[in-house]
Each structure stands twice: as structure tokens, then as C-alpha cells.
Chains A and B, each alone.
Chain A
Amino acid sequence: MSPEVAPSLSPAKPLLEVSNLSSGYGEVQVLWDVSLEVRLGEVVALIGANGAGKTTLLWTVSKLIRPWSGSIHFDGKNLTHASSDQMVGAGMVQVPQDRRLFPGLSVKDNLLQGAYLRQEKREIQSTLDWVLEILPRLKERLYQDAGLLSGGEQQMCAIGRGLMSKPRLLAIDELSLGLAPLVVDNLLRLIIDINKQGVTVLLVEQDVEVALEQAHRGYVLETGRVVQASKASELLEDPRIRQAYLGL
């Protein structure tokens, strides 16, 4: 079982289109006129220093905070004023930075939370089978308390929960945070695998080298503004990026 989206790499078709977006918290503006697109089938990396606005951008696109101005289109539809559950319904799903599992609930119940908008039991079961097939470790832990998982397993569970809604675009905030190198390596393979199965990916990652090695394209965010957008391979070679973000 795989999601409906064909792994088309047609470069023209944007799945997520953010135009001139501004937002923030209370009276503090964080994003200034941000424009960005994620095309169907792509892996796009979003890089930038701490405090640059990466998480705020994901939160605004997911409607956890309200856009102040600008527009958000998803699959051609204007969803600037949609609610967060409507975004999920449209196929835009976020794996949040600190994973935010429900401790006290089993791994299975945590995964099922990801399908909370879906009705058809049989289809939910087949998505669950698919998720457990690509994340076999979760199968071993299915009836354990999610609060007792290791860091890497928690991240797998958060990604699995995201996949349970059959997303078209999966936005992952800080994939590698606090995880051992080998675990990060396995998660990267997983992301590539998910992408090959047709899920478009927007990746926020502090390990800029890792992010750009996996991505097709990348955006650089500085103090709430997009300052650069190009092919990931070009960003990796860019002397300014290497100095500012890779410490080279």
C-alpha cells in the first residue's frame, strides 16, 4: 500500500506555494515577505540559523499560527485562511520539532492519532500496515508506552503518525535533533524511501550538510527572510553558505 500520489517529478507543478508571507507572535514579526514553493515529488531543505524563522514558517503553513499577510496555496487551492485540520485534510502534515508524542498512550494509539480525520476503518488499517512495513521497529513496539521509546524510536513514531494521514507533503522539523549518527543515517534512508513512494518532503534540519545532500532544492532563511533559493547541490558548493552554515 502506498499513497495515491504518483512519484512524478514534473518540475513545473508546485504542491505548496507560499507567497509574500508574513507572520509572528503577538506583536513580534518573525517572517517578512517569505515566498517559497515545494514541487510535487521533491525533497526541499529549509536551512537557517536558530531564530531565523524556520519553525515559524512551518507553523504558519500548518496554521498553528495565523498568517498576517501573503498567501498559501496547496495543490492549486488558496488555503491562506484554512484551519489547521483543513491543512491536514488537504495533505499538508507536520512532524513537529520535539516530536510531541502522547506519553501514556501506546505506539499504536499514537500512530492512530495521525488518522484522526479519516473515517474508513479498513483504509486506516491498510495505511497502518504500510507504516509498519517501512518502520518495522515500531511493529516490535506497537503495544508499548510511547513515552518509553528511545529518542530514535520516538522520531520514527512521530514520522509514522504523520504518514497515517496519507500526507502529500510531509514537513519534518529537526529530523536529527539529539539522535545518534547511525540513527540519523537510518532516518535519512527512510525519508528517501518515503519520498520515492510519492510523498513530497520539506525538511528543516540543523545538520545543513546532511539536509542538502538529501534534498533536490534548498531555501536559506535569515532573520525571517528568504535570502537564497537554489539547487541543493549548488548551495552545498556556495562559499557563503559553506562559511555561514557549514562552518567550513
Chain B
Amino acid sequence: MEAPAVAQSAEVLLQARSVTKHFGGVAALQGVDLEIRRGEILGVIGPNGAGKTTFVNCISGMDKPTSGTILFKGVDITHMPGYAIGRLGLARTFQVVKPLRQLNVIDNVAVGAMFGAGGSKRNTSQARARAEQVLEQVGLKHRSTHLAADLTLPDLKRLELAKALAMDPELLFLDEVMAGLNPTEVERAMQMLQTINSSGITLFVIEHVMKAIMGISDRIVVLHFGKKIAEGDPSKVIENPQVIEAYLGERFAKRARGERQKR
């Protein structure tokens, strides 16, 4: 049975209005309207180059939209610097992992703990204590004292998640944290994300792994050439002919249906 989606009436945590981003002559995002509701897991799919990461960059202050408005908890964050957005309770991971390579794992995460929503109140040892909790949560505690530079890619993806979680976000953007995991590892990662979500963190999940997207999303948004082409209930979105043609293909559409039925 399908889990009940977050009610339509739930509080809008983030609202993107007509967000457009141009890189020279290339329109990476063209007037994207999108709402993220408190408590939900929003899945985001779309072909490589559709603008998914650019969207997250614009929201998190890594990049500024060419036009449009972004409201987080009702506050206009469109022109806010990234660190201030982090303090407000928004965190993200990076698809191409960005560890501080010369620091060990726990200090990488402690930096997140000092940077985010709860950060200004923490001293170094409090930040390390918070980091330790998070490392436990993501299953990376046994690597605490390793240099980030020495981690394998799946562990670097976990570190990426840990850094963001340590920021105590209300809204967390995850950019392909499951790439390179096998189906059983994906299964474990899905459980982890669901636990994170039930602890009260709203999730925006970009992923090509359909097993995961179909398994955990309350809603799905599809981007294609910088535009939103579909949005809604996962089982409906994967039947949308435009989504199948642009992104899924028949083979994977069939598999995605199976994943949804298993839920």
C-alpha cells in the first residue's frame, strides 16, 4: 500500500517562483515553479543536463538565479549568501563530493556542525560530539580518524551526507547520494533516508536510481531542458508519456512500476 502523501495543506517550507538561470546563452533553468512541503520526501528526476543540480545550486546560494524568487520559511533567500542560508536551516550534499581532504572524517563533519543551523552556539568539542552522533547515524563511525582523502567513493558519499546532517537542517537537498551503490546497498540507504525524514527533516532527493526514487518519494518532480514537465504522485508520474520518452524509456518504466507496487 502507498504511504499517505504529505497533505496538500502541509506548510510550504520552500517556494521557488519562476526561477531562471542562464549560463551565457544557455538557459539551464527556465521559469521553474516548485514547492517543497514540510515533512515530505520530494524526488527529483530528469535527464543528465536537465538543470537539477543547477536548481539546487540556485537554492543553496552556490549560484544566483538570473531571475525569480526563492522563499524559505517565508524569508526571501534569493540573494542571501550560502552561509546565511545554511544558518537558516537548509543544507545540501554535492554530487561530485567535496570533502576537506586533509582533515579527518570527524573534523569534516564537525565543520558542518559549526556551520549550520545549530552551529553558532557550538564550540569545537561540542561540534565534535555532534559529529560523532551523525557518523554513527550514517554508518561511518569506524572511519572517524581516517583522512577524508583515504576514503572510498561510497564512504565519501556517506561523509557528504554526514557533513550536511551535522548542520541540523530542516530541509536537506541530496544530489545523487546513491550513485554507485548496488541494489542491496541502495535498500539500506533508503532506510537511512526514511529514518532521517521521520526525525523531522524534509528531503529533496535527486537520484537516477529508480528503485530509490520510487520507494521513498511522496511526490516526484521531473525536470527536462530546464523546465518542469511533470509533478505529482510517483505512480502517475512514471506513466506520463513525456517522462517515459524523455527520461525513463520503456524498459525502466516497467521496472519502476514494479518498484512502486512493492511498496
- A interface list, Cβ under 8 A from B: 47-51, 150-152, 174, 177-186, 206-209, 243-247
Contact = CB atoms under 8 A, between A and B. Distances in A.
B251 to A, nearest CB: 5
Interface residues of B, number: 30
Identify which of B152, B210, B211, B249 gathers the most chain A CB atoms within 10 Å of its CB. Answer: B249
Interface string B204-237: 0000101100000000000000000000000000
B184 A181 contact: no
Contacts of A151: 48-49
B47 A183 contact: yes
Contact of B184 (A177, A186, A247): A247
A177 B153 CA distance: 12
B154 A51 contact: yes
Given A51-B154, A150-B49, A247-B187, A182 B180 contact: no
19 contacts: A49-B182, A50-B180, A150-B47, A150-B49, A151-B48, A174-B180, A179-B208, A180-B46, A180-B48, A181-B208, A181-B210, A182-B252, A206-B183, A208-B183, A209-B183, A209-B255, A243-B184, A244-B184, A246-B184
A49 B211 CA distance: 17
Nearest to A51: B152
Given A50-B152, A51-B152, A151-B48, A180 B187 contact: no
A206 B182 contact: yes
A49 B48 contact: no
B247 interface: yes
A245 to B, nearest CB: 6
B252 A179 contact: no
A248 B247 CA distance: 25
